[in-house]
Structure 1
Amino acid sequence: MTNSTLSPGAVAGRWLGAIRGGVGFLTRLPVSFRDGDWEALRETPAAFPVVGYLAGAIAAIPLLAVGTLSSGPVAFAYLLAVYAVVGIHHLDGVADLGDALVVHGDTERRREVLKDTTTGVGAILAVAVVVAGLALGGLGVAGLTVAGAVGVVIAAEVGAKLGMAAMACLGHASYEGMGKSFTEASSPASVLGPIAVAVPAVGLTWPHPAAAVAVCGAVAAIALPWYWATHHLGGINGDIFGAANEIGRVAGVHAGVIAWTLL
């Protein structure tokens, strides 16, 4: 049954279920699941950027100390806040992608590496680059104004979630699994919902365009693992979703800082 055939109350309940499912899937925030929440999330990709607003706002709390404390402690507190909110399970996707990037072999061999629980040097390097990149991005936002720092961080988080939603709506899954559960439940037209939800995030630093650049930077960065997976794995999977989320956040924060500095 589509949303167009549901009553307003049922539509609202579906949205709440999708948001609960998104909070549970994308963050470590305590949320009580109900029957149908996972299905609601799969069929409501617009819930992804909604969770981005929530996660970004909580992770940005340490940035309220910008101008009061030195940049180093603020940046470190932001890094800790991010992983306290979103957890580290998406970093597993970064690790698996790192190993798959450096392995020699065909598509099947790369898929095997994604499923392998052994941590290789590619995984270690990939995770280190992403975490260091976020820490340095945090150092950059700690040098902005409070409003600018908070706006950029939230915009980057929303942009990363918008990128994930776009993957679900427009991507092709390589094989059975979490990735396919999302791509099969959404159509290309469904991407309009996440875009509409994410639009307000571009004005978070208004009249400065830093937030808009942060959103666009996060989405653009997600295109990189998406493109690579499509051409070297035959499509996206759960690891690519997780890796894209982490990569998008880092790119969005840096893009916002650069825009604030140059524009």
Structure 2
Amino acid sequence: MGRWIGAVRGAVGFLTRLPVGHRDGDWDAFRSTPAAFPIVGLVAGTLASLPLLAADALPSATVAFGYLLAVYAVTGIHHLDGVADLGDALVVHGDAERRREVLKDTTTGVGALLAVAGTVTALALAGLGLAGRPPVAAVAIAIAAEVGTKLGMAAMACFGRAGYPGMGRQFTAATARRSFLAPAVVAAPIAAATWPHPAAAVALCGAVAGLALPWYWADRHLGGISGDIFGAANEIGRVAGVHAGVIAWTLL
């Protein structure tokens, strides 16, 4: 039990801006306990979705802006650095080594600016879509998308390969494929949050699918995932999950 508590504490410290204490061993416990990812997704998603409860009382644009602010107030903006680095790596010409150099470069290029702007805009528009749904459904979709994003990150840790030493390898080296069962069990009940409507399940699966895009690209063009890819996947997965959930609620 102490290891699980330490793992969740380490995950909260890494994945959010929530004030938590830190003890020696928390980071190692988190790296080797991928189930901590969706647990923190549930906490972060719940807190970030609170502005959506005002969807019936305030203009949709205001609620969407509140959701956007809440997401970054809870999770921080440091994961957007991965989006920025990925954006620059996407547009650079060269081989995998050249792209890895760009990922490590602290210079902000046009690709980075476009990637960050596009991601934040997409999340704001997703929030606008949520604001037009019933408040309880909107909250459920937002939470499911956040949990799905973290489930996808757990999958990256369990099944991914790191292209070079760094943050990515710290996760992939500490887990095994069989370790994915626990995060899957933790995340599965969230898919029923809008039962019998499938919107939450679609949001959760959509987040995992969206996260697979940077993962696949990194495997093909970087030789494997890295800490920047984890960060970018976190942001892209959330956007994909919320949009998928809103579309499902609208059409199904």
User: How does the TM-score come out when normalised to structure 2?
Assistant: 0.99
1:75 correspondence with 2:69: no
Q: CA deviation at 1:212?
A: 0.1
CA distance in structure 1 between the partners assigned to 2:221 and 2:15 by the alignment: 26
**Letter paired with 2:180:** V
Aligned-partner Cα distance in 2 for 1:101–1:35: 37
* Alpha-carbon separation, structure 2, partners of 1:121 and 1:191: 37
Separation in 2, partners of 1:223, 1:58: 25
Query: Aligned AA for 1:52?
Result: G
What corresponds to 1:17 in structure 2?
6
Aligned to 1:159: 148
| Correspondence 1:132-147 to 2 at 5 A | 132-147=121-136
In 1, distance between residues paired with 2:74 and 2:211? 20
Quick one: distance in 2 between partners of 1:208 and 1:224?
A: 26
1:239 equivalent to 2:228? Answer: yes
Q: Deviations over 1:157-182 (max 9, x none)?
A: 00000000000000000111110000
Q: What is the distance in 2 between the residues matched to 1:216 and 1:64?
A: 23
Q: Is the partner of 1:89 in helix, strand or coil?
A: coil
* 2:175 equivalent in structure 1: 186
1:146 Cα deviation from its structure 2 partner: 0.9
Matching of residue 57 in structure 1 with residue 67 in structure 2: no
User: C-alpha distance in 2, partners of 1:166/1:261?
Assistant: 29
Are 1:94 and 2:83 an aligned pair?
yes
Give the deviation of 1:70 after TM superposition.
1.1
Letter in 2 for 1:185: A
State the distance in 1 between where 2:183 and 2:208 align. Answer: 12
Q: How many residues align?
A: 252
Aligned to 2:239: 250
**Which residue pairs with 1:5 in the alignment?**
none
Q: Is 1:226–2:222 an aligned residue pair?
A: no
The equivalences for 1:192-231 within 5 A come to 192-231=181-220
- Aligned-partner residue type, residue 150 of structure 1: V
Q: For 1:222 and 1:149, how far apart are their aligned partners in 2?
A: 21
Match of 2:22 among 22, 30, 33: 33
Q: Which amino acid aligns with 1:201?
A: I
1:234 aligned counterpart, secondary structure: coil
Identity of aligned residues (%): 73
Q: Deviations over 1:104-137 (max 9, x none)?
A: 0001000000000000000000001100000000
Tell me which amino acid in the other structure corresponds to 1:246. Answer: E
Any idea what SS the aligned residue of 1:44 has? coil
Unaligned runs of 5+ in 2: none
Give the superposed CA RMSD: 0.4
* Other structure's SS at 1:52 match: helix
1:205 positional shift: 1.1
**In 2, distance between residues paired with 1:93 and 1:83?**
15
Equivalent of residue 47 in structure 1, options 33, 36, 44: 36
Q: Distance in 1 between matches of 2:117 and 2:174?
A: 33
Identify unmatched segments of 5+ residues in structure 1: 1-11
Please give the per-residue CA displacement for 1:16-64, whole angstroms capped at 9, x wherever unaligned: 0000000000000000011110000001000000000000000011011
